[in-house]
Chains A and B, each alone.
Chain A
Amino acid sequence: MERRVSVKVQRYASNGLPPRIEQYEVPQKEGMTILDALMFIKENLDGSLAFRASCRMGICGSCAMFVNGYPYLACHTQIHEIGKQELIIKPLPNFPVVKDLVVDLSSLFDRHRTVLPYLIRSEEPDDTRPIVQRPDELEAFLKFSYCIKCGICVSGCPTCASDPTFLGPQALAQAWRYSADNRDEGFAKRKESLDRPHGVWNCHLAGACSEACPKGVDPALGIQRLKRALIASYFGLFRKRKATLGPPVSWEAAPPEGAPRPPERTVTPEDTSLSGD
């Protein structure tokens, strides 16, 4: 007998009418994800259902949604993981709803921008000299660089639920990701957006962000390290090893003996229509 799963989806159309729940019956196949179920509904039962998805492999962060009271990446979660034959799917909390399961993530990206999420260097980069980074220096920030900006941590954060001006776990974890990087010299600039009311100090360490994060980023840990670094910086104690530049690399030089060579060209630009004519 065919196994079926009941999928209840919150529908909302920004037209002033209150949200409503619609129920669909979906045949459940082995390994079926929540996103597969939504695709089935859209293709076979109701083409008007709106949801966001792109990569289907937990990389793009588009398909985050609230399933049976917990935030998940729909493409990354199989139906059997939920452990119920009834799924109640709602849009992510703590974000305004645009339509059905599509939320407006612009506040997430705005807050992300305020913490200057990029490497800030005091000198102009020298393309011929790579920056040396030891494995332990990479480890200091690697876990925090896995963030895919899906918004799940913000949707789980109780402080974000009550304080929309709070920077939120995503932005704060990214502030630490760059501040912990030994190539970065922008901590002093970043402090302006962190060390203020509704900044890093409003995190009360509920830990919901780390529990919900589908990529194992652990924003709560990043935020605590950020707090420690800020307090240490008041007393001039925040230090990290300054990145050094490696020896100049000559791109023209022949590779050393025994080094692997790139494959030889089998198609030249002249052979293709991309050659310019």
Chain B
Amino acid sequence: MKEGLGWFFQLFTGLFLVALLGVHMLGMHMDTLLPRFGMGYKDPLVFQEVLKRGHAPLFVAFYVVFLGLALYHGFYGLRAVLMEVWASSRTLSSINMLVWSLGLFLFFLGTAVSVGFFLV
């Protein structure tokens, strides 16, 4: 992948994260605000509500997309830090491999938990 496209995608994911985090904060942690406008859940952190969301396809899709974007954004930043700490053309492929493998592992792990819970 072109170096600049990776950087551009990080900008792009950053914008999406702001939007998705906004949805998450409004729905989960500002739960007294939305019901006043006839939206959202009452007591969203109660276990029964968590179970309900875990079985809703829209929420599962939201979790997987959120996870993928957050992991990309964070691991691209980590890669930039590692590239500066070990600044050498020889270490670049090792850093890429480490970051991609760890990111993909966490993505599949998170996806398996969300989708697995949905299917149960």
Contact = CB atoms under 8 A, between A and B. Distances in A.
B84 A195 contact: no
A159 interface: yes
B54 to A, nearest CB: 38
Nearest to B87: A163
Interface size range of chain B in the complex: 10 to 19
Interface string A216-234: 0000000000010011001
B87 A165 contact: yes
A164 B3 contact: no
Nearest to A231: B8
A197 interface: yes
B5 A165 contact: no
Interface in B1-55: 2-8
B94 interface: no
Nearest to B79: A197
Interface residues of A, number: 19
Interface in B52-100: 80, 83-85, 87-89, 92
Given A202-B80, A231-B8, A195 B87 contact: no
B4 A231 contact: yes
A231 B10 CA distance: 13
Interface string A61-74: 00000000000000
Contacts of A195: 2-4
A231 B6 CA distance: 11
B4 A164 contact: no
Contacts of A231: 4, 8
B83 A202 contact: yes
Contact of A159 (B3, B7, B84): B84
A199 interface: yes
Contacts of A198: 83, 87
A230 B4 contact: yes
B86 to A, nearest CB: 9
B83 A163 contact: yes
Given A197-B92, A202-B80, A234 B5 contact: yes
Nearest to A165: B87
Interface of A: 159, 162-166, 195-202, 204, 227, 230-231, 234
Lowest 3 A-B CB distances belong to which pairs? A163-B87, A163-B84, A201-B7
Given A165-B88, A197-B83, 19 more contacts: A162-B87, A163-B83, A164-B87, A165-B87, A165-B89, A166-B84, A195-B2, A196-B3, A198-B87, A199-B3, A200-B4, A201-B3, A201-B6, A204-B80, A227-B4, A227-B7, A231-B4, A231-B8, A234-B8
